[in-house]
A and B are shown apart, each in its own frame.
Chain A
Amino acid sequence: MRRRPAKYSAAALAWRGLRGDSWPRVWRDTELKRSYDAVVVGGGVHGLATAYYLARNHGITDVAVVDKAYLGSGASGRNTAIVRANYLTPEGVAFYDRSLQLYNSMATDLNINVMFSERGHLTLAHSDAALRTMNWRAEVNKLQGVNSSVIDPDEIKKIAPALDTSDHPRHPILGALYHPPGGIVRHDAVVWGYARAADHMGVEMHQKTEVLDILCTGGDGPDGKGAGGRVTGVRTNRGDISTPVVVNCTAGWAGLISAMAGVRLPITTHPLQAAVTEPVKVFLNTVVVSGSLHVYISQTDRGELVFGAAVDPVATYSIRGSLEFTEELAGHVLELMPGISRMRLLRQWSGLCDMTPDYSPVMGFTPVDGFLVDVGWGTYGFKAAPVSGEQIAAAVATGKTPELIAPFALSRFDTGDLVGEKGAAAVGH
């Protein structure tokens, strides 16, 4: 059931402006049906991308995306919106590079301005060890055809004059991994764009629909859950749905949702805090990251500086902020950019990160037939959303694990084939 979309364009804007027309609702509110071909749990950017690619690439449109809150209410609206492909493992680089390609054409594909700003990405090195890792990453990237190189402090100063590249700081900047294709994207627009495009193809989005249980049969655990079983449906606060396919696209609650199907995951949930300053004129036109100081900085189009940090050390589902975070963040940022000491923070927030032992995601099939996961997205979920949706949709449609996500299978923890991704933002160098 394909609906006629209201196309976004300058002409449409002028036409509606002159006529005084309002824009139609971006997606429909529909009744929850009793049965779907597939149910996606989690209405964030991963879940919506999965639904979109199921409909667009595979013609599977009888899909429901359910979320216990509103679309984009979780990590999709809390991340620092950075995209890049300069990872360390060949598996990771190939995967994130595909994601970056999809981000590049997203505005055209989804007919929405996602404000992708390809502004370049600097990962600073403050020690010989960090510089060695940057060289390693640069070489892995070049082999895979990803534009990355190691630059010296003089070149860093040209790209980001606000940075203190002298030898005065306690952790002086010795060099950086420069990745020109990296940048920032407006994360809310990505969520709305996928939701709108999926809606046009017949996918249903159900907000305030909480999954209470996953119904299984034939498994080795209680109620037919667990290995060897298969999915028969989902129990929600709005009634039961029967479906042969359930995709877990949640972040933060991934372990709890998977446990409903009798699947244990190698995941612990940690909060990650971020903060934003008052807006000022644009002075920083690149993304700056320091693994050693656990901070990443970018300036939005509105002029606010967005700061992110490492995950909090204690596993918890509580997303309260802490003064320690603010103090530590301010100290680290001022060490990099002493010139902004008079700027004030507007607010801070946190989101939940599902951390895996090897800083790589868990994607694909599980021992329960029809139950797929797209979880364990730690601190790198937003930048991977388009490719994850594309690949998980392919897995659902074909019943086979696509090559690009084969290294990230849940079974790697049974065989010990971990993908140690030391290029993740959560890892200190």
Chain B
Amino acid sequence: MLLVPCPNCGPRNSADLRYGGESHARPDPATASPLQWRGYLYLRDNPADWLRETWYCRSGCRRWFTLERNTATNEFRDPPLPGDKRGGKA
């Protein structure tokens, strides 16, 4: 179990949230080449280190937000506060 620091609901069991995976800026669908778009869809950095990732608090505030977690130790750092711009969907 992971204790996930939701910016709105406080620490929650990870089972209460949906894991959204790595957070990457989405290329503009109007101008991106198929190769760029598929790279965005499929390729991952998958570091064993700090990672910016998205979460959805499905049984709490029902909002998407981004967090930084160390994938080797599962620590979270510097969680956003409510209203923080980082709290929006990446």
> Chain A residues in contact with chain B, CB under 8 A?
253, 255-256, 259, 264-269, 313-318, 322-324, 357, 413-416
Mask, B32-44, CB within 8 Å of A = 1, is 0011001101111
B59 close to A (CB within 8 Å)? no
The answer on a CB contact under 8 Å between A256 and B48 is yes
> Chain B residues in contact with chain A, CB under 8 A?
1-2, 14-15, 18-19, 21-22, 34-35, 38-39, 41-48, 53, 71-74
Q: How far, in angstroms, from A316 to B73 measured CA to CA in the complex?
A: 8
The answer on a CB contact under 8 Å between A324 and B1 is yes
The answer on a CB contact under 8 Å between A265 and B47 is no
Measured CB to CB, the nearest residue on chain A to B42 is A266
Q: How far, in angstroms, from A318 to B38 measured CA to CA in the complex?
A: 28
The answer on a CB contact under 8 Å between A413 and B48 is no
| Residues in A neighbouring B22, C-beta threshold 8 A | 268, 315
Q: Which 5 A-B pairs have the closest CB atoms?
A: A255-B46, A266-B42, A264-B43, A413-B42, A317-B48
Q: How far, in angstroms, from A315 to B49 measured CA to CA in the complex?
A: 12
Measured CB to CB, the nearest residue on chain B to A354 is B46
Q: How many A-B residue pairs have CB under 8 A?
A: 64
Distance between B81 CB and nearest chain A CB, rounded to angstroms: 23
The answer on a CB contact under 8 Å between A268 and B46 is yes
Q: Helix, strand, loop or mixed for chain B's interface?
A: mixed
Most chain A CB atoms below 10 A, which of B1, B44, B48, B53: B44
Residue B73 contacts which of A313, A318, A322, A415 (CB distance < 8 angstroms)? A318
Measured CB to CB, the nearest residue on chain B to A357 is B42
The answer on a CB contact under 8 Å between B19 and A265 is no
The answer on a CB contact under 8 Å between A265 and B43 is yes
Given contacts A268-B46, A322-B1, contact A314 B19 (CB under 8 A): yes
| Residues in A neighbouring B34, C-beta threshold 8 A | 416
| Residues in A neighbouring B18, C-beta threshold 8 A | 313
The answer on a CB contact under 8 Å between B44 and A265 is yes
Distance between A302 CB and nearest chain B CB, rounded to angstroms: 31
Residue B71 contacts which of A267, A315, A357, A415 (CB distance < 8 angstroms)? A315
Q: How far, in angstroms, from A416 to B43 measured CA to CA in the complex?
A: 12
Given contacts A264-B45, A267-B46, contact A315 B19 (CB under 8 A): yes
Q: How far, in angstroms, from A296 to B1 measured CA to CA in the complex?
A: 22
Given contacts A315-B19, A324-B15, contact A414 B46 (CB under 8 A): no
